Structure formats: C-alpha cells, structure tokens
C-alpha cells in the first residue's frame, strides 16, 4: 500500500512531529508510514484522512502486490 502523507503534510505545512502530536502517535510511526514500512490500522488511516480533509482513498492507494 502506498500513501501520500508526505505530500499532504507539506500542503498543510506540518512537521512529522506536529502530525504525530495531532493524531496521537510517535514521530517514528509517521516516519515509518511515509517510508511505506508500516500499514496503519483503519482507525489511524481515518484519522489521517480527516486531518487532511480528504477521503481515505485520496491518501492511501493499493499497490499491485496487495
């Protein structure tokens, strides 16, 4: 699964730490998400999408091997 959290974060002018604080995870988790090393739970995906005022589909996309 890929995501564009990094792009969304830049649009909203947030650092990794800001974003982490807003949705209640550690900065390392945001880092792992952006690097594509971690697939978040549905709750976390919904929280991120709500913060960015997008739908989940606009932030997260399936890849061919999913």
Question: What DSSP state is assigned to residue 29?
Answer: H
CB of 49 to another protein, least distance (A): 16
Identify the residue among 2, 7, 11, 17 touching another protein (CB under 8 A): 17
Taken in order 37, 42, 48, 54, the sign of the CA dihedral is positive
Angle between helices 42-52 and 16-23 (to 10 degrees): 120
Longest dimension (CA), the chain: 32
Instruction: Kindly state whether residue 54 participates in binding another protein, applying the rule CB under 8 A.
Output: no
Using CB under 8 A, which residues numbered 23 to 52 contact another protein?
24-32, 34, 38, 40-41, 43-44
Chain residues binding another protein by CB under 8 A are 6, 15-17, 24-32, 34, 38, 40-41, 43-44
């Amino acid at each position: 699964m890929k995501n564009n959290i990094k792009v969304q974060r830049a649009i909203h002018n947030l650092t990794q730490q800001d974003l982490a604080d807003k949705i209640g995870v550690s900065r390392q988790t945001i880092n792992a998400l952006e690097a594509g090393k971690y697939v978040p739970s549905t709750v976390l995906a919904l929280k991120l999408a709500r913060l960015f005022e997008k739908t989940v589909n606009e932030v997260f996309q399936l890849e061919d091997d999913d």
